[in-house]
Amino acid sequence: MSKLITLNINEMFETIQGEGAHTGIPSIFVRLQGCPVGCPWCDTKHTWTLDNALVTTAQQVIDKTNESEHFFEIDENKLLSLFSEQGYVAKHVVITGGEPCMYDLRPLTTLLHNNGFSTQIETSGTYEVLCDDRTYVTVSPKINMKGGMPVLLSALERANEIKHPIAMQKHIDELDALLADVSSLAGKQVCLQPISQQPRATELAVQTCIARNWRLSLQTHKYIGIE
């Protein structure tokens, strides 16, 4: 029997995926605690700190109505049972963070796929991606962030989707430099996502996507006011 992995979960909820190639898909979001990357525009900074003093119960995390640094600990088998207890009906599970690839996600993703779920990981690409071969991996490469962590070529190679937040041409140039080392983009979606829905960033993203036949990713959940 494989060793169970302890997962630290800051948020868990059922919603609609609002970004990237899976936009519009009913999803269970599992937001893991812990991230050293240090993105200045991060909208989940409450997930950065891993501290045992912040551990609480699963129900308190599920029921919370405000962002909080508190999280609960659980293994993959109990998490699957918790989905049923909560009455979730979505069959797509988005594992995000924080930085989810701080964890070995092979036991969780394999368990979920073997029980009729599809899985997706949203990662910064700064850790090796350890997951089931069937998992859809979205790498949102975080370049030259405060944490000083490089984007790994192995993460970009594993990616099914490379979704890059942009505000200016410099960000596209940085992405081009990363993509130059990837063996092939065949079968990969490349998406540009305007940071904070800024009009100038949106215009640049639209123009670039048209010119390169890439995909525009909008944070539609923010436009329609859902989590």
Residue 150 marked ligand-binding: no
Residue 96 marked ligand-binding: yes
Residue 42 marked ligand-binding: yes
User: Which residue reads 């060793």 in tokens?
Assistant: 3
Residue 62 marked ligand-binding: no
Residue 18 marked ligand-binding: yes
Residue 39 marked ligand-binding: yes
Q: Do residues 117 and 90 make contact, with C-beta atoms less than 8 angstroms apart? A: no
Residue 31 marked ligand-binding: yes
Residue 17 marked ligand-binding: yes
Residue 209 marked ligand-binding: no
Residue 16 marked ligand-binding: yes
Residue 165 marked ligand-binding: no
Residue 43 marked ligand-binding: yes
| Whole-number Å distance between alpha carbons of 18 and 148 | 28
Q: How many CA atoms lie within 13 A of 144 on its CB side?
A: 7
For the stretch 18-51, what's the b/e string if a residue is b when 16 or more beta carbons lie within 10 angstroms of its beta carbon?
bbbbbbebebbbbbbbbbbbebeebebebbbbbe
Q: Do residues 15 and 94 make contact, with C-beta atoms less than 8 angstroms apart? A: no
Residue 5 marked ligand-binding: no
> Which residues are annotated as part of the binding site?
16-18, 31, 35, 39, 41-44, 96, 98, 140-142
Q: Which residues are annotated as a binding site for S-adenosyl-L-methionine?
A: 41-43, 98, 140-142
Binding-site residues for substrate sit at 16-18, 31, 96
- Give the annotated binding-site residues for [4Fe-4S] cluster: 35, 39, 42
Residue numbers belonging to the annotated binding site for Mg(2+) = 44
